[in-house]
Every structure is written in structure tokens, then in C-alpha cells.
Amino acid sequence: MLFIAVAVSAFSIFPTNASAALPGSDILLRIREQAGNVYSKYTGVESQREIKSFQYNAKTGGLISSNEVTMIRKEYFHKKAEYIVLKYIKDGKLLPPKNYNYKTRDPLIMPFDPGSNGNYIIKLNGEVEVTGKRCYEVDVLPKIKTSRTLCGKMYFTVDNLEPYYLEGTIARYPVGLESLRFQIYFKKVGDAWVMSHGTYTFVIHIPVFYPHRKFVSQFVSTNDQLIPLKK
């Protein structure tokens, strides 16, 4: 559970109404322009999130523990997320919500944020199919590897450049984190697209505290509301 929130707020929201009738670099330019419009209007997204997490022995694969959490979560572009726990179940036992007290982390530096143009190399690879959708595959590579920069691939639908899917990791792992992989799908809310559901898989090795533990965390977001930027 320690690193579940690492990448969440990096791609909480994307623009809509883009046109796919564009060649090469113009596609990336349109995505960036539309993202800039969204960041000028919103500061993040609030949603109800259902999370199911499982902890395994990374060497044997044996299940160690599990938990389920229902929360109201506010994801922000440029500051740590905030949440209120509504329900917490650990290993099948209902516990007080206050027992779930994991700290959120600083959000990733977002590739299509107007302020992050110098942090990434973004490359359009071409068309691929992702779970039945024709998409443009976009490489996102950090110029400087940090725990707040992304390394992965994003997929936008060919028809209208709607964000559809993201997979990747962070460019540099903090001490104790041996691996991390996230897979996130998006949905439309108002004039933007937000995270719909996804999976985080990571391995932690902190002697005594977390010796070779594998975590799999799955989430589904509902009741999404865009958070307006205060002028």
C-alpha cells in the first residue's frame, strides 16, 4: 500500500473535443493545446474510489493480507491528494476508517501540463489496437529520471484523440521500491476525461518491515466531479 498513490494524480484528467484529422506532430500539438485549456479551468477531480489491495510474498506468491477501502478522493495536479475514508475492511474484518492512514505523495510531473514541456521527450509511434480500440501510441520518456517523472506509453483513440489507456512506471524508484507498473483506463466527465479504473502492481523490499512483498491494487472511480480552478 505504501506506493499506491505514486502515479495517481499524474493523469487524473485529459481534454476532449480533439480532432484526429491531423498528421504526425500536429496530433501531439493538439493534445498539448487541449490539455492546456483543461489546466486553465480545473485543478483536479474529486471521485468516490473503491480500492481492493492484496499483499503477497513476492518469492512464494502466497497471499499475506488483503483490504478493501471506499473513499472520497480529491486528486490535484500540483499538490498532494486528499481523501476521506468511508469504509475500511482488512482481511475480511470491518475496521474504523481512521485505521486507514496511508500518506499521499507529491503528484507526478505531468507530460502535457504547459509547465512541464522541458521535462519529457514525447514521441508518436503510430497506430495500434488496445482492447478493441484503434489508438495512437505515444511514448513518454523523462529527460531527467526522478520519482516524480513518468516513463511509459499513452494511447489516444484514432477517431478523436480521446485518451483511452496509460501504462508505465516512474523513472526512478525510491528506496525500498523494487518495481512498479500501473495500467489505467479513462472515461469522459463533462468536457474532460478522468481515470475510470486501473491496477497498480509493485514490489517492496524493506528488511524487517516489508521483506520482498508484492502488492496488487485495483481501483474503480465513480461519481466524478471536476474541481474548478479558483481565479
Please report, rounded to a whole number, the percentage of residues in the chain having pLDDT higher than 70: 88
111's grid cell = 507530460
Measured at the CA of 85, the angle between CA 79 and CA 90, to 5 degrees, comes to 120
Residue pair 38/188 in contact by the 8 Å Cβ criterion? no
> In terms of pLDDT, which residue wins out, 84 or 3?
84
Domain range 8-228, CATH class: mainly beta
Q: What per-residue confidence (pLDDT) applies to 5?
A: 39
Single out the residue of 159, 154, 219, 225 nearest to residue 192, CA to CA.
225
E strand spans, the chain: 13-15, 42-57, 63-76, 82-90, 93-95, 120-130, 133-142, 150-157, 163-170, 177-189, 192-206, 210-228
pLDDT range class, residue 26, cuts 50, 70, 90: confident
pLDDT range class, residue 117, cuts 50, 70, 90: low
Q: What per-residue confidence (pLDDT) applies to 222?
A: 97
33's grid cell = 493545446
> In terms of pLDDT, which residue wins out, 41 or 2?
41
Q: What per-residue confidence (pLDDT) applies to 208?
A: 85
Mean pLDDT for the stretch of residues 112-129: 86
Mean pLDDT for the stretch of residues 11-37: 63
For 58-85, the pLDDT digits (tens) are 999 999 999 999 999 999 988 999 999 9
> In terms of pLDDT, which residue wins out, 14 or 30?
30
Q: What per-residue confidence (pLDDT) applies to 141?
A: 94
Q: What per-residue confidence (pLDDT) applies to 18?
A: 41
CA neighbours closer than 13 Å in the CB half-sphere of residue 103: 2
Mean pLDDT for the stretch of residues 172-197: 92
Domain positions in the chain: 8-228
Least confident of 14-28, 48-62, 118-132: 14-28
Burial class (CB in 10 A: 0-12, 13-18, 19+), 132: exposed
Mean pLDDT for the stretch of residues 12-35: 62
For 127-168, the pLDDT digits (tens) are 999 999 999 999 999 998 999 999 999 999 898 888 899 999
Q: What per-residue confidence (pLDDT) applies to 24?
A: 58
Count CB-CB contacts under 10 A for residue 199: 15
Rounded Cα distance, 193 and 37, in Å: 13
Least confident of 24-33, 84-93, 164-173: 24-33
Single out the residue of 117, 113, 72, 16 nearest to residue 227, CA to CA.
72
pLDDT range class, residue 111, cuts 50, 70, 90: confident
157's grid cell = 483513440
